[in-house]
Amino acid sequence: MEQDSLLLHHHPLSSNTMANISNTAPSDWRYVSEGGATIVFSYHGPPNPDFDGTVLRLRKALVPSLRPVVKVKDSEDGEEGNGKVVVHEEPDDPTIEYQIKCMSRLIPAENLPRLETVLLESEWLERLVELQNLKRPEGRREKDGIDVDRKKGVLATDLVGGNWLAVEIKPKWAFLPSLTHLSDATKATKSQTCRFCMHNHLRKSKGQIVEMSYCPLDLFSEDEGRMTRAVHGLWDGWHESGGSVNNLKVFAEGKILRPSEANAMLAGGVNTEYSINQIRDAFTTALVRTLVRNPVLSILSKLQRNLDVLDIEGLSKLWRETETLAPLYRTTFASFFEKPQESDAPPSTPLGVSSLFLSSPEPDIPAWEDFLDSFLSQFSAQLDNSQPVPQNLRYYLLAYLLSATFKDCSVIARLNFIDPGAEPNIKTGSNAVTVIDLDPKSMDKLRGWEKLDKEIATTYSSNPERKTCIDAFAA
């Protein structure tokens, strides 16, 4: 790595290992979309083998007025010591390494985008901001923007920009939790209604979104009738919200479509006369047939459920049990352990937060690789998940985080333009269905997730009209 960076620093054109963004003009790139952490542009410049058919994914930073004040250690941004400029190597975007070393062991290559590192320059990025920032939603622009100080970005297969429809779905949680570790307060609710439907209800009650009839358990059911219902639910939520729900996006040749532009999905062009319901039905048929022929949903469903075997409630219990067994914890709170009836229970550290008693460092790539070695071996098959033991806490923590990655990822399906008067012509092969947004989740999210889970389930338990969601693959 270090040698690479020196080489590139002195001879920017001599390296053929990494593309350099300054070989393109900022005006060659067009805004596509963004999420919480990243923003995406697609290449529309002159033919260039490094960039044709690619998108550029850049990290975002808060706008200066919202940035927390941080003290930078003198050495950290090290520069001009003894008149020399020291160039510090910025690591590759962790997404790339995580995908190559971890995700490729779980998801077939033809269902993943090709990812590469691209070198950035701040002047180039500033010019891109000038050209493209106004194309971003206003609410986003007020909060954050391209991080122009980054030296590296990600170049990925452009899954949306070709001569096809790209349908991006955020399918969310695929399963109902196993009952073993649920508390009496949540068991009845969490075993009847799926996590997405409960969360949807909570967000609606807070006025954040329109109610969606979409249930992920239908989408993951592998039953065409139920999948049709799920896609109708996604479409209706998309339509009623004016395209603002984030569970469905539709792109035509790279351009994101609003529901009012649905006739841009038609093969005959925008002047073709079909009703919105005819478009909805033809879209649904094409999407369901594409998904049902592809292993992606089945893979995601299995991974989610096999990695989240305790539910966050069981994970939290195991965490507390492990902490109370720590020798330092027992000596620190010795008076309690000697006479438990006479004193209050000692405090416990929130899930995922390291303390003197129990350490749970953020996993790095080698830790993820070790975890996958265990997960993909007999080890995981031999675990008794009804009675998890403290020695395996680390395994269960990483498993839960990885499950969260698959609960939060998106899927992009490629469809041909729609003809409601004909049978759909289904795309197959490489990148017909692709999994994206597979970022590693961090340990410090766990305590927030535990809190949210409790809020979702308790709020839902007081809902008089509880939905029944069917998990087709419940154990």
Where does this chain bind Zn ion (CB under 5 A)?
A: 194, 197, 215, 469
Return the number of the residue (197 or 435) whose C-beta is nearest Zn ion: 197
Sheet with 248-252: list strands edge to edge.
255-256, 248-252, 165-169, 410-415, 433-436
337 CB-near residues (< 8 Å, 6+ apart): 330
Token code pair at residue 327: 């020798």
Return the number of the residue (236 or 323) whose C-beta is nearest Zn ion: 236
Q: Is 107 left (phi over 0), alpha (psi -120 to 50) or beta?
A: beta
Provide, rounded to whole angstroms, the least separation between the CB of residue 48 and Zn ion. Answer: 45
Short-list 470, 414, 443, CA closest to 158: 414
Return the number of the residue (176 or 318) whose C-beta is nearest Zn ion: 176
CA distance 405 to 437: 8
CA distance 36 to 360: 25
Return the number of the residue (179 or 353) whose C-beta is nearest Zn ion: 179
Residue 191: CB atoms within 10 Å: 16
Provide the 8-state DSSP code for 265. Answer: G
Return the number of the residue (194 or 426) whose C-beta is nearest Zn ion: 194
Q: What is the CA radius of gyration of the chain?
A: 25
Pairing of strands 19-20, 410-415: unpaired
The distance from CA 25 to its chain's CA centroid, rounded to whole angstroms, is 30
Return the number of the residue (41 or 214) whose C-beta is nearest Zn ion: 214
The DSSP result for 311-344, as a single string, is: HHHHHHHHHHHHHHHSHHHHHHTHHHHH-TTTSP
Provide, rounded to whole angstroms, the least separation between the CB of residue 233 and Zn ion. Answer: 10
Provide, rounded to whole angstroms, the least separation between the CB of residue 245 and Zn ion. Answer: 15
CA distance 272 to 263: 8
Provide, rounded to whole angstroms, the least separation between the CB of residue 197 and Zn ion. Answer: 3
Return the number of the residue (153 or 216) whose C-beta is nearest Zn ion: 216
Cβ–Cβ < 8 Å for 403, 303: yes
Distances (CA, A) of 13 to 8, 17, 122, 152, 207: 7, 10, 18, 16, 53
Short-list 26, 235, 222, CA closest to 131: 26
23 CB-near residues (< 8 Å, 6+ apart): 48, 50, 51
Return the number of the residue (12 or 225) whose C-beta is nearest Zn ion: 225
Return the number of the residue (171 or 363) whose C-beta is nearest Zn ion: 171
Provide, rounded to whole angstroms, the least separation between the CB of residue 213 and Zn ion. Answer: 9
Provide, rounded to whole angstroms, the least separation between the CB of residue 196 and Zn ion. Answer: 5
